[in-house]
Copies of this chain bind each other. A is one copy, B any other.
Amino acid sequence: MPNAMGDALDTIAAETVRQPLAERRLLHESAVDRLRDMIVQGVLTPGTKLNERALCEQLGISRTPLREALKVLSTEGLVALQPNRGAVVATLTEDRVREIFAVMGALEALAGELACRNMTADQLNEIRALHYQMLAHHARGELAPYFRCNQEIHLAIVEASGNATLVASYASLNAHVRRARYMANLSQARWDQAVAEHEKILDALGRRDAGPLQDLLKNHLGAKLTVVLAALGALADNAKETADAAYD
């Protein structure tokens, strides 16, 4: 045994230099994922100028895969490309949020209908499990984990439709509004109500009762829209104040 640390070092080297089994991901793909996360989680706020050189350094890649990633995010709508003038994080206007929610409403309604028809018992159980996990976060007042659970439930319902195209469309639109959602400051009353709505949704799902489920989903989404718009307004006000402060 020449070196007790040999194994550990080899492991690290294998992970950093070359992933043998993990089938090393392509640079532009991981760049897309990382940038998307940064945008959705609000690290990169709407309107932020995306300097290629700076992002390259931050991600440790060259401009070629970065630019490919920006093109992808642009077709996803999260980034706006201005010819010869670079990329900026797409802004979210109130109108656009309303548009997105309208489309998501149609998609969720379809998902609910299909889920009632196609959902497996396992899928239903998983949704139930996520629901109880969410209840726990609600009881403890843990907002961020609650949001994550909440998202997973909605995604699980859409996935239970068994329609991959629907899942992709829904996920793409969802990424846009999640940006605003992360900074939503739920009142306790609205939070409690949202949980109650989820209870009813789960109930309808369990009975595979498509009609009422669609109505419940629609109302739930409508309430979410109100919350998101409020968050968006608050955000805009903050930005305005900051801008005003610059003039003081």
Contact = CB atoms under 8 A, between A and B. Distances in A.
A1 to B, nearest CB: 37
Contacts of A68: 67-68, 71
Contacts of A99: 163-166
Interface residues of A, number: 31
A82 to B, nearest CB: 11
| Copy total for this chain | 2
Contact of A109 (B67, B77, B106): B106
A99 B118 CA distance: 13
A102 interface: yes
A211 B210 CA distance: 19
A103 B110 contact: yes
A16 interface: no
Contact of A83 (B26, B72, B74): B26
Given A75-B76, A103-B107, A103-B166, 12 more contacts: A28-B71, A72-B75, A77-B168, A96-B164, A99-B164, A102-B110, A102-B114, A103-B110, A103-B163, A103-B169, A105-B110, A106-B109
